Amino acid sequence: MPAFAELLRGYDRFRGRSYAMQKSRYDQLASEGQHPPVMIISCCDSRVDPTTIFDTVPGQVFAVRNVANLVPPYAPDSNLHGTSAAIEFAVLGLHVRHIVIMGHGQCGGIKASLSGTDLGEPGPSFIDNWMSIVSEAREKVVSGQHEDPQRALELEAIKVSIKNLRSFPYVCELEQNGELKLHGCFFAIHDGVLHILDEESGKFTEA
């Protein structure tokens, strides 16, 4: 199990370096609990860890990762809603002041949305069902003139997630009251550059 053994070696480095250097901060977080000002919703892709990209410290970010950094529409039913539950806790329990949707280049979920997924699993695909969140945006991209449909849908998916965030009543209310701000950004893996969404223009510019 060399991959797991490498994780344990990483843990040893963490205990000897990062944890030791930030011991007082961990003590404070243990005694006072967490009060992160920011929630980041990003993809579970192994190449785009938000705490690494933003160089955060423990307790700074409440992070949620899922396929293609998507937020589903508000749906108060009895189904299982992992991302929605995390949003509820972050906003109403932790009182975060910012929610960041961070998309990225070469996203496998977006690729599956455009071309379908075939992982050899019989029956309905969880991935295809989850990616239906961006089905309307997908049709818009596919029917349009885009030099790079993958990149176009990666960017559109960020906008969809922000729109869906506003379907949560408490998110909408707090944003209107100026107590919560929503942000969209895109990380390009190939060059390591972060792009920020300007909602007024709908365009992304380098940070």
pTM of the entire predicted model: 0.95
Euclidean distance between CA atoms 141 and 167, whole angstroms: 23
The three-state secondary structure class of 31 is: helix
* Full pLDDT tens readout for the chain, 207 residues: 689 999 999 999 999 999 999 999 999 999 999 999 999 999 999 999 999 999 999 999 999 999 999 999 999 999 999 999 999 999 999 999 999 999 999 999 999 999 876 666 666 788 989 999 999 999 999 999 899 999 999 999 999 999 999 999 999 999 999 999 999 999 999 999 999 999 999 999 999
Assign 3-state DSSP to the chain and report helix, strand, coil percentages, each to 5: 50, 20, 35
Nearest 5°: phi and psi at 151? -65, -40
Task: Look up tokens 């965030």; give the residue.
Answer: 165
Please list the residue range(s) of the chain that carry CATH number 3.40.1050.10.
34-206
Give domain 34-206's CATH number out of 3.30.559.10, 3.20.10.10, 3.40.1050.10, 2.40.110.20.
Answer: 3.40.1050.10
